[in-house]
Amino acid sequence: MVSEYRLKRRVQFYETDSAGIVHFSWFYRYMEEAEHALWREAGLSILEPVPEVGFPRVSASFDFKSPLRFEDVFELHLTIAEIRAKTIRYKALVTLDDATVATGSLTVACVSRIPGQPMRAIPIPSSIAGRFQSATEDPPSGP
């Protein structure tokens, strides 16, 4: 079961503003990039592990401590903070040389994606939920 992923990445020029500082919107993209990598680590894809199920974002936030700049190599540590019946909540920590740059969170809801019907929250299928655990849970013990 997967509970975390560490993304190491270099800031690209197009991610910065005219002052050479990463635009705040890119932090959300970095977090989503790490989320997708976490799902791949679990052997899944967030797009269509179950075709009639989707995972829209219902909450996202960041608090910024210091800037990232062009060519910085940073790390984003994404952990599953909580798994509930219908939602997954992630925590993100962005660091540069072990100093905190930003902290964030992202909550996704499991919804039905049936053509012609409105989305509605549904329980996360066990085939998906069984691949993850919250970072605060103890891993299952072996025999």
Q: Which domains does the chain have, with CATH numbers?
A: 4-129 (3.10.129.10)
d(CA 53, CA 118): 12
Q: 63 an active-site residue?
A: no
Question: Over the stretch 25-71, which tens digit does the pLDDT of each residue have?
Answer: 999 999 999 999 999 999 999 887 677 899 999 999 999 999 999 99
What distance separates the 2 farthest-apart alpha carbons in the chain? 57
What's the burial of 26, exposed, middle or buried (CB within 10 Å: 0-12/13-18/19+)? middle
Instruction: Read off the pLDDT of residues 115-132 as tens digits, 9 standing for 90 and up.
Output: 899 999 999 999 999 999
% of the chain at pLDDT higher than 70: 94
pLDDT at 136: 78
